[in-house]
Amino acid sequence: MNEMTIVESANAAWNNAFNSKDIDALVELYSKSAILSPGNGEFLTGHEEIKGLFKSFIDGGVNSHALTIIEVGGSDDFIYQVAKWSAKGPEVDGEKAEFGGVTTTVFKKSNDGEYLAHSHVWNVN
């Protein structure tokens, strides 16, 4: 598989897990030592911390997550993507909240040949 196909597949799995509220499946898309920064200057490391963040988003009503790839590259062991992300939130005063930004993800090839998110950073517009 080429880099673009790998990233498209990873993004589809991520969006599907998030949008179906399957936090366990979502977290399994990350390496056990993954580092995530949700754009607030903080860093989360490992499955439990990452799970807590995504659970708070889902419990808070975030939904309809989507990714639009801007660039993909890398090598056999690491693949990166830069993408635009968007999502919706709960209705406030009759208006559905919409937000998004830019995200960068580095996927690391595991011992079994699967690419897992190892570094994931995003910002919010």
Hunting for tokens 């960068």 — which residue is that? 104
State the total domains in the chain: 1
CATH of the domain at 18: 3.10.450.50
pLDDT digits (tens, 9 = 90+) for 15-38: 999 999 999 999 999 999 999 999
What are the Cα distances from residue 119, in Å, to 16, 36, 47? 20, 6, 12
pLDDT digits (tens, 9 = 90+) for 83-119: 999 999 988 888 889 999 999 999 999 999 999 999 9
Neighbours of 33 (CB within 10 A): 11
Q: Which domain holds residue 83?
A: 3-122
pTM (2 d.p.): 0.94
